[in-house]
Amino acid sequence: MTATTTRDPAAPAFPVAVTPDPAPVARRRRPVPVGLVLAWAVLATVLLWAVLPGALAPFDAYTSVAAGLQAPGGEHLFGTDANGRDLFSRVVHGASESLAGAAVAVTLGLTAGTLLGVVAGTVGGVVEEVLMRVVDVLLAIPGLLLALTVVVLLGPGTVNAALAVGVGAVAGFARLVRAEVVQVRATEYVEAAYGSGGRVLSVLWRHVLRNSLRPVVALAAMQVGTAILALSTLGFLGYGVTPPDPEWGMIIAQGRDLLAAAWWVTTLPGLVIVAVVLSANRVSRSLGSER
């Protein structure tokens, strides 16, 4: 007597090969762009110049060390100016003046602009209308013209020039912060924080400001380059440091009459300013982009 087996009618007539689940594919990290690496390298180099000018400058920035208007070479990388001073050493020492002034200007613009933007975006109503109309007036005035007006009222000098540039940066920070505060305040987690009994200042600090930080930081990085360019312009016009202290704009101004005979006196410091401004803008774009 033979045993019989019954087949499940729902089972397939032929065996089906079961393929295992594919292994999870590891996410590839995006390579860092070469331009961004170069931008950070430029900014780090200039920061070292500003912090350690005496150690990194090959010569004294105030003393004549060679013949006047000597062309760039192995001993003098940027050549010498009309007084025989090493131009590269003066550019290195001038980094401290330019970066310190830019830091003061950006700090002033960031602090005052953030305060105005937070008040306008939080209070709203008539207060917001008045503050934003003031910001619109400031934005309607060209930044260099506004800085020149302020520095003429305060008088020439490094600190006054930095304050003048900082006043011109307030409006941009105020408008950005106000827009971010208004957008973040409308989110559900902020409404929930208010609904759960959170205090206004606590909610602003823990939720609103922290979630509005990225674009503000990106703007601050861009304003560093803008401030350096504005300070150099004021120094070129004679509203910055007083000679013989080195400053990038003043160094270029001292060589503007020698452009045909000694192009390096203006060109090489100008290229340093261009490199720093472009690097700050590149870093600003990377900070503001999505990761």
Q: Which residue carries 């830019």 as its tokens?
A: 102
- Give CA–CA dist 249/267, Å, rounded: 12
Percentage of residues in the chain with pLDDT exceeding 90?
42
Residue 136's identity, in one-letter code, is: D
- Complete DSSP assignment for 112-178: HHHHHHHHHHHH-HHHHHHHHHHHHHHHHS-HHHHHHHHHHHH-SSHHHHHHHHHHHHHHHHHHHHH
- Give CA–CA dist 27/266, Å, rounded: 48
Residue 15 belongs to a domain: no
* CA atoms 145, 150, 151, 153: torsion sign: positive
Residue 163 belongs to a domain: yes
Lowest mean pLDDT among 25-29, 63-67, 107-111: 25-29
Residue 240 belongs to a domain: yes
How many structural domains comprise the chain?
A: 1
The predicted-structure confidence for 150-206, as pLDDT tens digits, reads as follows 898 888 888 899 999 999 899 999 999 888 878 776 666 566 665 665 566 666 666
In Å, what is the CA distance from 177 to each residue of 114, 123, 145?
Answer: 6, 13, 24
Residue 261's pLDDT is: 85
Q: Is the peptide bond before 244 cis (omega within 30 degrees of 0)?
A: yes
Give the predicted TM-score (pTM) of the model.
Answer: 0.81
Contact 60, 89 (CB under 8 A): yes
- Give CA–CA dist 137/29, Å, rounded: 45
The predicted-structure confidence for 120-134, as pLDDT tens digits, reads as follows 887 878 988 999 999
The segment with the largest mean pLDDT, out of 47-51, 71-75, 113-117, 119-123, is 47-51
Residue 151 belongs to a domain: yes
Packing angle between helix 213-236 and helix 264-288, nearest 10 degrees? 170
Residue 129 belongs to a domain: yes
Q: Which domain holds residue 154?
A: 101-288
Residue 188 belongs to a domain: yes
Name which residue leads in pLDDT, 146 or 14: 146
Residue 192 belongs to a domain: yes
Quick one: tokens of 241? 């440091």
Q: For residue 174, give the CATH number of its domain.
A: 1.10.3720.10
Contact 246, 93 (CB under 8 A): yes
Confidence of residue 91 (pLDDT cuts 50, 70, 90): very high
Confidence of residue 1 (pLDDT cuts 50, 70, 90): very low
- Give CA–CA dist 143/252, Å, rounded: 21
In Å, what is the CA distance from 266 to each residue of 43, 176, 256?
Answer: 21, 36, 6
Look at residue 243 and tell me whether its pLDDT is greater than 90: no
Residue 41 belongs to a domain: no
Q: Single out the residue of 219, 222, 223 nearest to residue 105, CA to CA.
A: 223
Look at residue 291 and tell me whether its pLDDT is greater than 80: no
